Amino acid sequence: MKMMFRTFTLALLVSVFTISTAQASLLWKVTGNDLDQPSYLFGTIHVICQDRFYMDERIEDAIASSEQLAKEIDISAPGTMMRLQQLMVNPDGPYLEEHLNEDELATLDQYFLDNFGVGLAQVGALKPMALNSMLLMGAMPCADTESYEAFFAQRASELELPILELESVEFQMSLFDNIPQEEQVSWLLEMVKDDQATTEQMESLIDAYLSEDLDTLLALMEEDPQFAEYAEVLLDERNQNWVAPIREMIHERSTFIAVGAGHLPGDMGVITLLQDAGYTVEPVAR
């Protein structure tokens, strides 16, 4: 479970894959079902070391040929970042002392002081997922990072493409309300006690992502036997919710859809759901 917590809370970093590497690709073309022109699905990883950021001609061509960009949420929209920051704060104030003993609190406090220059006095009211995101950024094996979401938002701006959202920031931040706070705090403490494991897991995920090695990504996620406990809420239900707005978007205009890579494959993934709705969805190979 703690691996899922590490990966998901970094703006849904990457999740379970179930398609064969015979069709391995992060970029998928959507046609058929009376579409006038193709649209594209692209699976993102939300943070990566700047020197490993990868963009090739097929992806550039796909977004350049599109008439609008669709994302899970649009952080660049006016007011969104402010709302996100507000939603990261626990409404009842500091809460960690309800779940941790004095030694555990001291361990957590010292870790944040040593690595971020702030202690629990400054960040202790942030929700576990916000603290976890800080830990994940600190675990990146580099100082400079890049975001695929930011890249696509910038390209959309340059190409004067409108940006659409598949869900609200309020909904996305509410997802962790389905997971008991005590459990989230426990995972947080485990990450602090074994931060090297977090770094190694992130490096493995990034290696597999850049290789478009879906089998390895699946194997990494399946190391967590409790993943299925929350996969339905965090992935499956959201994928189903997205199908209707995606269909509306792609019939209106050619759309480049960029979402966390874990949302694309699987029986309840966006690829299969669109195929079930009558579309042809095929990989665009390197």
Instruction: Using pLDDT thresholds of 50, 70 and 90, give the confidence band for residue 10.
Output: very low
Structure confidence at residue 232 (pLDDT): 80
- pTM equals 0.88
Taking residues 91-99, report their average pLDDT.
91
Percent pLDDT > 90 in the chain is 55
- Is residue 119 within 8 Å of residue 109, measured between CB atoms? yes
Close Cβ partners of 196 (under 8 Å, ≥ 6 residues apart): none
pLDDT tens string 40-69: 999 998 889 999 998 999 999 999 999 999
Three-state secondary structure of 147-187: CHHHHHHHHHHHCCCCEEECCCHHHHHHHHHHCCHHHHHHH
What tokens does 139 get?
A: 């675990």
**Which of helix, strand or coil describes residue 26?**
coil
State the Cα–Cα distance between residues 132 and 150, nearest whole angstrom.
21
Structure confidence at residue 17 (pLDDT): 37
- Is residue 254 within 8 Å of residue 65, measured between CB atoms? yes
Query: In terms of C-beta distances under 8 Å and separation of at least 24 residues, what long-range contacts does 180-186 make, across chains too?
Result: 181/95, 181/99, 181/128, 182/99, 183/1, 184/5, 184/128, 184/129, 184/132, 185/96, 185/99, 185/100, 185/128, 186/99
pLDDT tens string 191-243: 898 888 888 888 888 888 898 876 676 667 667 655 667 778 888 899 999 99
- Is residue 28 within 8 Å of residue 209, measured between CB atoms? no
Q: What angle do CA 204, 28, 172 make, to 5 degrees?
A: 65
Question: Domains of the chain: which residue ranges?
Answer: 10-89+144-180+213-283
**Which of helix, strand or coil describes residue 86?**
helix
The CB density around residue 103, as the number of other CB atoms within 10 Å, is 8
Return mean pLDDT, the chain.
Answer: 86
- Is residue 47 within 8 Å of residue 145, measured between CB atoms? yes
Structure confidence at residue 229 (pLDDT): 75
Q: Got the DSSP string for 219-261? A: HHHHT-TTTHHHHIIIIIHHHHHHHHHHHHHHHHS-EEEEEEG
pLDDT tens string 152-192: 999 999 999 999 999 999 999 888 888 889 988 988 998 89
The CB density around residue 105, as the number of other CB atoms within 10 Å, is 16
